[in-house]
Amino acid sequence: MTWVTWRQYRYQGALAAALFAALTVVLLITGLHVAQLWHSALARCATDGSCANLAGTGLSLQSPVLTTLIVGTSAVALLPGLFWGAPMVAHELETGTNQFAWTQSITRRRWLAVRTGWLLLAAAVLAGAVSALVTWATGPDSALYADAFQINRFDVTDIVPVGYAVFAMALGICAGTLLRRTLPAVAVTLAGFVGIRVLTAQWLRPHYMTPVTGYYKLTRLYAPKGSYLSVSQGIVGPDGKPPVAGLGGYVFNGGPIPTVCAKAIQNPAPCMAAHGYRAFLTYQPASRFWAFQGIETAIFVILAAILLGFTFWVLLRRDA
Instruction: Give the interface with other proteins as residue ranges (CB under 8 A).
Output: 1, 3-4, 7-8, 95-97, 99-100, 102-109, 316, 319-320
Residue 103 C-beta: closest distance to other proteins, Å = 4
DSSP codes joined into one string, 171-188: HHHHHHHHH--HHHHHHH
Q: Which amino acid is at 34?
A: V
- Three-state SS for 279? strand
Nearest CB to other proteins, comparing residues 116 and 157: 116
Smallest distance, other proteins to C-beta of residue 304, A: 25
Closest approach, Cβ 213 to other proteins, in A, equals 57
Please report how close the Cβ of residue 94 comes to other proteins at its closest, in angstroms: 10
| DSSP code at position 97 | T
Rounded Cα gap, residues 272 and 277, in angstroms: 5
Q: How far is the CB of 187 from other proteins (least distance, A)?
A: 23
As a whole number of angstroms, the distance between CA 138 and CA 229 comes to 18
Give the C-alpha separation, 263 to 169, whole Å. 61
Q: Please give the backbone phi and psi of residue 92, each rounded to the nearest 5 degrees, phi first.
A: -65, -40
The gap from C-alpha 291 to its chain's centroid, in whole angstroms, comes to 14
Report the residue number, 7 or 220, with the smaller CB distance to other proteins: 7
Q: Which is nearer to other proteins, 1 or 71 (CB)?
A: 1
Q: Which is nearer to other proteins, 191 or 314 (CB)?
A: 314
Q: What angle do CA 50, 52, 54 make, to 5 degrees?
A: 70
Q: Which residue lies nearer to other proteins by CB, 6 or 250?
A: 6
